Amino acid sequence: MIIPIGCDHAGFKTKELIVKHLTNKGFQIKDFGCYSESSIDYPDYAHPVAQMVEENPGMIGVLLCGSGNGINMTANKHAGIRSALCWEKEIASLARSHNDANIIAIPARFVSEEMAIEMVDVFLSTVFEGGRHQNRIDKIPC
């Protein structure tokens, strides 16, 4: 499974740890950057991740920025994306199981590196429940 990942400068350190963690677990990573803590614009990294996930049904992506909000809002501009801002494992699990989220957005300045890794693991291992939740998912697109 290929996992596209992207971040802004505030998420860089945590992104690097997530990439190492996922690589060690056998995942292939498509790292869209950024590649340092130098200030950049988060949309430049959110759009490529969102586009790759949108073009590959069943794919799950990872995004990080300082608050998680900007990168999450950007990803959600893509019609086929359901990006979820997550700050704890239960939110990550519910985003997948109830909302069929296909991108996790992590607020790197507000969660520990350990929590970020745990949330990614939960997000990747949780299955969408379907059923009554599918009816709601079908009503999301405009």
Query: So which residues are the catalytic ones?
Result: 65, 98
**Are the beta carbons of 86 and 104 closer than 8 angstroms?**
yes
**Nearest residue to 37 (alpha-carbon basis) of 69, 14, 59, 61:** 14
**Are the beta carbons of 102 and 64 closer than 8 angstroms?**
no
**Nearest residue to 118 (alpha-carbon basis) of 100, 91, 99:** 91
Residues 6+ apart with CB under 8 A from 103: 49, 50, 53, 60, 61, 62, 63, 72, 75, 81, 82, 83, 84
Within 10 angstroms of residue 128's Cβ, the number of other Cβ atoms is: 16
Residue 97 CA to residue 133 CA, distance in Å, equals 8
